Every structure is written in C-alpha cells, then in structure tokens.
A and B are shown apart, each in its own frame.
Chain A
C-alpha cells in the first residue's frame, strides 16, 4: 500500500468528523476536527488501522489568532495524519483523554496539559510529567505570552503519584533519582512483597533543560547545535531530524553524498549506542566482564568517530544543507579496519548472550512482551522489534540516503530480554554491513549547498530512527530567522509504559535489567523548560557551590 492510499484510508475514516482538511506535504494529511469528536476520531483511526499515535504537539497560534491547537500525529509507515483540535486561548480549555485507547498517550497528555494549559478530561494521571512540582499554577511555557519571570517556584506539598498495581501498605524500594543502577536521574518506586514486585511507579523530569522552549529564542543555525545536545548518545539523530525538517521547509536539496555521510555517521552512532547498552545491561545483571569487554570494543567506534568528525560525543557533522567533513581514502580504510574487528567481536558477544547458560537464566522469559502488547503500549525501536512488531522509520519511511542504501530489519518473536539482546546485536551486524556498503559506494557530490538565513513559513514533520526507536520532530516556521515551535518526542518516552506495566509480578532483581532493557535515555525524555529555584539563579559557580557546601555542612 502506498502513501496516497494510506492517507486516503485515514481521510475516509475521519470523514464523519472532518471540518476542514489540507495536505501540507505529500505524505501528510491534516484534518481539523472539533474537540468533542476527538475520542471518536481516535477510535475511528485505530479501528481503520491508520497507524499509531506518535506524538501530540501543543501549538499556540498566538494572541492575534486567538486560538491554540493540539495536534495528534498518527504515523502509518510514511503517512502522517494529524488531527488538529482547535482550542480557545481563554481560560482553561478542555479536551478529552484518549489514554484509555492509547495508554502511552497519558504521557503526551500530561505534557500537553502542563505545557499548553489544556485540561485533559479523564487522563489517568493529571500531575506534572516534566515540570517540577513547585511550578506555579496557571503558567504554561508553550503559550506565546509566557514570560520566564512568571515561573518563580511556589511552596507546595508534593502530590502523590498514582500507582500502577497494588501499592497500599507495602514495603517500597526506591530507585533513584540517585542510585547505582541509574546512570541518569529518574525516580522509581517498587512495592515489593518479599522479592516480588506488586506495584511500580515513576517520576521523570530531573534533567530539564528547557531545550524546546530555548529553540524559539535562537536562530535556525544555532538550534542545530542546541538540539545536538539533547542526548549524549544519539546526538546525530537529533541533528539529522532537525536538519532534514528544516531543509524540507527551506526547499533545499542536499547532495546525495552528504546524505550518505549522514547515514554513515548514524550507523556508527547506532553501533556506539548498542555496545554501550550491552555493557550497561550486563552490568545490571552483575556480569561486569561483559561490561568491560563491550565498552573496550566501543572505543574502536568512538575513535573512528573522532577521526572522522573530530568529536567523540557531539559529532557536529551535519550542517543545514549538508555535512562538514568528507570521507576520504584514509578514512574509508580505517572504517573497514574497524568494521573487521567489530564484526568479529559482535559475533562473539551474540554467541555469549544466546548460549551462556548462567546469562540466559537472567534473560530468558524475563519481561516478555507479546506483539499485541507492544502495539497497545506503543513500543518503538528495538524494544518493539524484539516483540515481532516491525516499527522502523528507516524501513517505513526511508529518509535521506536510506532510499538508496536500505537496511534489513531484524526482528524476534520472543519479546523477552534475550530477544532484545539478539535484536540489538544482530542489528549491529546489519549496521556494519551497511557502513561497508556506504563507504565503498559513496555517491559523488558537494558536501554542502547554500542555505538561506530565513526559512519560509510552513510546518513539517521529520521522523528519524534513533538507536532506541523513532524520534519525532514537528517544526513550525513563520518565515523568520528562528523557529516558532519545535516539538520533539523521543523514543524512550514511548517505551516506559511497557516496562511499568510489565514490572508487576517480576522479581526486584530483574528490574534493573528490565529498565535498561528498553535502553532508557532520561536526557532525551526530559528537555522541556528552564527550572528556576528559590534563590532566583540556576547557575552556580564552582566557588559558590563549594562555599554553599561548606556552609551547609557547618550548619548541620
């Protein structure tokens, strides 16, 4: 089925609710519906099999326009259907929850309600998702008339987080925000009965940096470097998604060579991310030897990235309109050499994780998620593919060089931790192969093309397959030097639902592995808004911090 047919199917399904339709891009369909029809329209979309709810964008059209919009993006292969619900700017507009149909939407709805000031009626959990608990009422960062001065923290009791499963009068083991199992801050509470988990809940938002909001104050070029810093692991994913979207808006055609180099770097990033994941999960299982070995081998790819781009973490290879560095004969030689080594090592690790009896005891049958559950929970990326659900933007909606250098998809039907290991490691072998092909067949062309300072008005959706799954970008320009709105939905957010729902009934000892099994990235998750503390300033110099520590210690 091609994209037009898919869009037509969505159009037909939505026909009873449609107020207005327009097609901003060839693969997109925007349907304006009434707020009251939202739940019915969602049900119709799901019933007609028109894709999954990928993100909800809250969009303030400004004081002059007099209304706001909530965009429900449904992705179906390359086709993106957006339900646009118009909301009044006056008072507290209301919208119905779709979380009973799409469980993962509860996260999106929480974000929508705290960022745009929309009351989501019937959402299972109305508390803050990303914003701190002491955020003032009635201040919404995504509104156009938001002022940072209004966001001074207020004193209030921390609201209770609703529970999943039985929590009541139970022994609760807290994990995080600071805990040896977590490499980034997040907070989990597990109610245990002996060693068995009877309830789980989570609180995110410890690493807010306000990046989405910050993009609105920076120009198109500055944003590239800002968005790269969303994540230290998949930095290239974010620059790719952003650059791709902005290039679409500006109608700039990037040369095939630059696109191929972007795919090459994305492949290397995937290798680096998956090897890092392998080490982390092995460490969670108490298998430090595998941890040390896989991280040693990860150095190969880090050194390679450094050799090509000059950087090890934020590679900064993409620019708007192309890439910065070329791949010459010397680079391609070292890439081949590195791939030789890595392929051998990855085969070895694959052998270990699928044959070592002790290791299998900790992974086989743990956290099993069926294909239907994966669809229900909205799982993405390797987490979904390990349950036999093929969701991969590189295949569904080939972007950039993936049209000419396609990848083959690895899936596994088992859905447990063992399958996640198998999928990720086999994916590495595929990636190594793709990298070799790319290096040997780099198309000719310029590295960059001229890019305008101002980007024409328009909206675009840009989707990229990160190592963890689909990263979703919605970019809106009003023709100025900086974007009007950038909405980012990272894959980790979608995968949380599956872990929390699967936790109950497992042993406490399995939890670190299950959490890491979906490869969570808290930094990607939390990125929304500037947090200001009581003393008014959020930056502390080293000397201030030291003085503060000494003072605090003395005054005990």
Chain B
C-alpha cells in the first residue's frame, strides 16, 4: 500500500501528470499575460499542450560529436529533478506529500538540477551557440542562486525551521511580504532568473545565440526540458507564494495569490529590457546578495 501510494504520488499527484498539466496552464497564463501586456492576442489555452505533443511526436536529431548517453539522459534527469522537488512543496495550497527537517534545502537543490542539466546539455551539444549559452546559463546560476537561497532562508529563520511544512504553518499567521519586503523582492526576481525569463534571458537570447544551451535539442529532449521548465515555474511560484503571501490557507485563495504573483512576473517581463550577462551578474552580487545578507543580519539581530 505504501509503495502504491508513493508511485501514485510520483506518477499522478502531486507530482507527475497533474503537475505537468498545471505547468502547462501556468505557462499558458504567463504567455497570455505577456502577450496582452505587449498588445498581442496571445496563445489559446491549449497551446502549451499542443506544442508539447508536437515536439514529442517529432524526430529527435542528435548532432555529431556528442555523448549520446548524456544527450538523451540529461532531459530526463532534469525533468525528474523538478518533479521530485514537487513532492516537498505545497502545490495548489495542499500540504506537501512528503516532509522531513531540512527539505527546503533539498528542494532548492533539486530545482537547480534543471539548470545544471541545461548547462551540461549545452556543453555536451558541441555547438558554438550552445556552448556560449551553457556558459551563460551556469554563470547566471551562480549569480542568482545565493541571493535566492538567502531570500527563502528569511522566512525559515523566522519560523525557526528548515522544514517547508513548518515554515508554511508559521507564515500562515505572519505575512512575510510585510515583515521581510526585501526578501520577497529578491525571491521574486530570483525566481525570474531561475526560470530565465526576461530580463534574465541572456542565456537564451535568440538574437545573439539562437536558443542558447538548447539550440541543438529537438523533439523529445526539447519537450522534456520545456516541461521541466514549466514544472519549475509552478513549484517556484507556489514556494514564494506560500512563504511570503500568507501560507496555504484555502486552495482557491492560494491559487488566486499565485496567479497574482504570475501577473506581477509577466508585467516585469514585459517592461524590462534584457540584461547582458555581465550586468546580470553585477546586479545580483552588488545589490541582490548584499541586500539579502543585510536582511538576514537584521533578522539575527532582532531575534
């Protein structure tokens, strides 16, 4: 029975299919909102699903000179990392499936797995655009990862626990966006960096390096990376909402809150110009990391 439950939770709920579909819905919401901000019509609601089906059905071209195992393995690892992370995160305002002390750190590292896999995939692709893209992806990872982690540690320190379940229980009565506004901003912008959304889309700046690390990917591999990315979006948005916007509460209200967060992200994506990679790194280390550290310091002092 235990095993069956575990399989169900990985295959269907909360990870697995339900997460993939909600990832597509989030992706659609994001694309639609950005399109509306940009004075476009935007895609229909099933467009991400149609894209995925199309990609899965397409031929996968393997470039010459790549390590085959890595080329086909990395997308799978990336997606499974993102799906596993979902087990510890309260998606849709429902208590996480599994929980243990310190699962916050595990979740964050599982989320980074996707970015690492993309970097490796780009490096493995033996294409010039991919290599430049991979370098940028990994450079950017080192830029936003520390501030993002620190921003999520703020609520954890306030709740005196590194267990997502406990932190969420604490934030339910404490709106962290009010108590730690700096942390919220850094978490939100860090999430955009993690998802490589504009203005942090230098790793896949199409006008310079085509599609960055994923230039050589097509068909199934590309689809898996895309799914992984939208799953990460669901997890990231849920995590930030649960930590900073008043915990879980009612699932419907939680959904509304995370959609509100998505709206803010779409707005930022529309109004900001892409940063060069040196500007991204400079911004995170000169402003992001220092602000996050100052907030942690303030928390320690005030406690």
Q: How far is the CA of A296 from the CA of B39 in the complex (A)?
A: 8
Interface presence of B219 (CB below 8 A): no
Chain B minimum-CB-distance residue to A363: B273
Interface presence of B205 (CB below 8 A): yes
CB neighbours (8 Å) of B272 from chain A are 287, 358
CB neighbours (8 Å) of B206 from chain A are 180-181
Report yes or no: A292 in contact with B279, Cβ–Cβ below 8 A: no
Report yes or no: B277 in contact with A287, Cβ–Cβ below 8 A: no
Report yes or no: A286 in contact with B273, Cβ–Cβ below 8 A: yes
Within 501-548 of A, Cβ neighbours of B (below 8 Å) are at 507-512
Report yes or no: A509 in contact with B208, Cβ–Cβ below 8 A: yes
Report yes or no: A283 in contact with B207, Cβ–Cβ below 8 A: yes
CB neighbours (8 Å) of A194 from chain B are 135
Question: Which of B129, B270, B271, B277 makes the CB contact (< 8 A) with A509?
Answer: B277
Q: How far is the CA of A283 from the CA of B131 in the complex (A)?
A: 23
Chain B minimum-CB-distance residue to A292: B38
Given that A285-B273, A289-B270 are contacting pairs, would A180 and B39 also be in contact in the complex, using a CB cutoff of 8 Å?
Answer: no
Q: How far is the CA of A292 from the CA of B278 in the complex (A)?
A: 27
Q: How far is the CA of A296 from the CA of B32 in the complex (A)?
A: 18
Nearest CB in chain B: distance from A194 CB, A: 8
Interface string of A276-290 (1 = CB under 8 A from B): 000000011111110
Report yes or no: A286 in contact with B128, Cβ–Cβ below 8 A: no
Q: How far is the CA of A174 from the CA of B129 in the complex (A)?
A: 9
Report yes or no: B274 in contact with A286, Cβ–Cβ below 8 A: yes
Given that A358-B272, A358-B273, A361-B273 are contacting pairs, would A289 and B38 also be in contact in the complex, using a CB cutoff of 8 Å?
Answer: yes
CB neighbours (8 Å) of A284 from chain B are 207
Report yes or no: B276 in contact with A509, Cβ–Cβ below 8 A: yes
Q: How far is the CA of A509 from the CA of B278 in the complex (A)?
A: 10
Chain B minimum-CB-distance residue to A179: B210
Interface string of B246-279 (1 = CB under 8 A from A): 0000000000000000000000001111111111
Nearest CB in chain A: distance from B184 CB, A: 21
Report yes or no: A181 in contact with B208, Cβ–Cβ below 8 A: yes
CB neighbours (8 Å) of B96 from chain A are none
Q: How far is the CA of A285 from the CA of B271 in the complex (A)?
A: 12
Interface presence of A17 (CB below 8 A): no
Interface presence of A293 (CB below 8 A): yes
Question: Which of A172, A292, A361, A509 makes the CB contact (< 8 A) with B128?
Answer: A172
Q: How far is the CA of A356 from the CA of B274 in the complex (A)?
A: 13
Nearest CB in chain A: distance from B232 CB, A: 21
Within 282-337 of A, Cβ neighbours of B (below 8 Å) are at 283-289, 292-293, 296
Question: Which of B132, B273, B277 makes the CB contact (< 8 A) with A359?
Answer: B273
Interface presence of B202 (CB below 8 A): yes
Report yes or no: B207 in contact with A508, Cβ–Cβ below 8 A: no
Report yes or no: B278 in contact with A293, Cβ–Cβ below 8 A: no
Interface string of B137-176 (1 = CB under 8 A from A): 0000000000000000000000000000000000000000
Report yes or no: B128 in contact with A174, Cβ–Cβ below 8 A: yes
Interface presence of B40 (CB below 8 A): yes
Q: How far is the CA of A192 from the CA of B135 in the complex (A)?
A: 13
CB neighbours (8 Å) of A180 from chain B are 206-207, 210
Interface presence of B209 (CB below 8 A): yes
Interface presence of A457 (CB below 8 A): no
Report yes or no: A285 in contact with B128, Cβ–Cβ below 8 A: no
Report yes or no: A286 in contact with B198, Cβ–Cβ below 8 A: yes
A residues touching B (Cβ–Cβ < 8 Å)?
A: 171-175, 179-181, 192, 194-195, 283-289, 292-293, 296, 356, 358-359, 361-362, 507-512
5 intermolecular pairs with C-beta atoms under 8 Å apart? A171-B131, A173-B208, A181-B208, A287-B273, A507-B278
Given contacts A173-B128, A289-B270, A508-B208, 11 further A-B contacts (CB under 8 A): A172-B128, A180-B210, A181-B206, A283-B207, A288-B270, A289-B38, A293-B38, A356-B273, A358-B273, A507-B276, A509-B208
Counting from the closest, the 5 A-B pairs by CB-CB distance are: A286-B274, A181-B207, A512-B207, A292-B38, A180-B206
